[in-house]
Amino acid sequence: MLGRSLVPDQQPQRHSTGITSNADAPDYADQPNGGEPTAAPSASGSTGPTEAGQDGSGRDAGGDKLFGAHATTGSSRLALTFDDGPDPQYTPQVLALLREFDVRATFCVVGENAQNHPDLIQAIVNDGHTLCNHSWQHDVGLGARSADAIRSDLLRTNEAIRAAVPDAPIVWYRQPGGAWTYPVVSVASQLGMTPLHWSVDPSDWDLPGAGKITATVVTQAEPGSVVLLHDAGGNRQGTVDALRRILPDLTARFELEALPTDPT
């Protein structure tokens, strides 16, 4: 399973989420296969055309291409993550379902969507969910740009989020398409954000239908899973419908958490 090989090298306690000083530390030495951590591949070479503008397609982003990004929660808890929003049609439906099942999750929001829908950012935070920076406009090639360009993109996104919720903790960053590079991991860490990947991916962005999304999540979920879902970026009714089936199952088997915003 994607990213599983990262786990043994993680520290036994929950990961600190407020890392600000590890850009030059050997934190990324836990890459599998003894790869070359400083060799940043071109983002275009690590993502296929079919996933342009979306996340998922773990086959292109797994293993040695994670650059140390977290793919699990580091505990027995399972985390649901919702990418690419907020979206005025689907995010409120997701929030209502999470509320119904008393579940907190993490929303990986796109900066320009946050700017356009500050009310939804506020609703996410008010419901107790946590936030993750997902870049300004979902540029899957962001990791191939200069460090300054990456930094500007991530900061602009955080500013848009904080325009809605001034004190919002933003301690996670997820690279669009999972197209990690060493520079994007490094800059995110310098800005106090821990790179976040995933371990369960039903490819809901590819519209497989609610049944398939549900089946993939409930069969692949295990303690520590980070589940990738999308509440924006296209027709997400399948995801919403799947969530109504997924939540009763997962809440019966696991403790679900919003990824933490405080170092522990």
Binding site for Zn ion (CB under 5 A): 55, 83-84, 176
Q: Please state the closest distance from residue 21 (CB atom) to Zn ion, in A.
A: 28
* Count of CB atoms situated within 10 Å of the CB of 197: 27
Mark out the alpha helices in the chain (DSSP H runs). Answer: 43-46, 91-100, 111-116, 118-126, 147-164, 182-190, 210-220, 237-253
Nearer to Zn ion, 84 or 153 (CB): 84
Identity of the residue, 37 or 143, whose beta carbon is nearer to Zn ion in the bound complex: 143
Give 27 or 199: the residue with its C-beta nearer to Zn ion. 199
The residue annotated as part of the active site, out of 55, 201, 230, 231, is 230
Nearest to 112 by CA among 175, 160, 147: 160
Q: Which residue is nearest to Zn ion (CB)?
A: 55
Nearest distance from residue 143's CB to Zn ion, in Å?
13
Contacts of 32 (CB under 8 A, 6+ apart): 5, 6, 63, 64
Query: Of 233, 234, 213, 224, which is closest to residue 259 (Cα–Cα)?
Result: 224
Convert 159-191 to b/e letters by CB count within 10 Å (16 or more is b): ebbeebbeebbbbbbbbbbbbbbbbbbbbbbbb
Quote the least distance from Cβ 24 to Zn ion, whole Å: 28
The number of C-alpha atoms within 13 Å of 160 and in the hemisphere containing its C-beta is 26
**Per annotation, catalytic residue among 55, 83, 87, 204:** 83
CB nearer Zn ion, residue 83 or residue 204: 83
Through-space distance between the first and last CA atoms of the chain, rounded to whole angstroms? 27
**Cβ–Cβ contacts within 10 Å for residue 142, how many?**
23
Residue 2 CB, nearest distance to Zn ion (Å)?
A: 16
Residue 230 appears among annotated catalytic residues: yes
Q: Which is nearer to Zn ion, 27 or 87 (CB)?
A: 87
Tell me, yes or no, if 15 is annotated catalytic.
no
Cis peptide before 86 (omega within 30 of 0): yes
Closest CB 128 distance from Zn ion, rounded Å: 22
Catalytic machinery residues: 83, 230
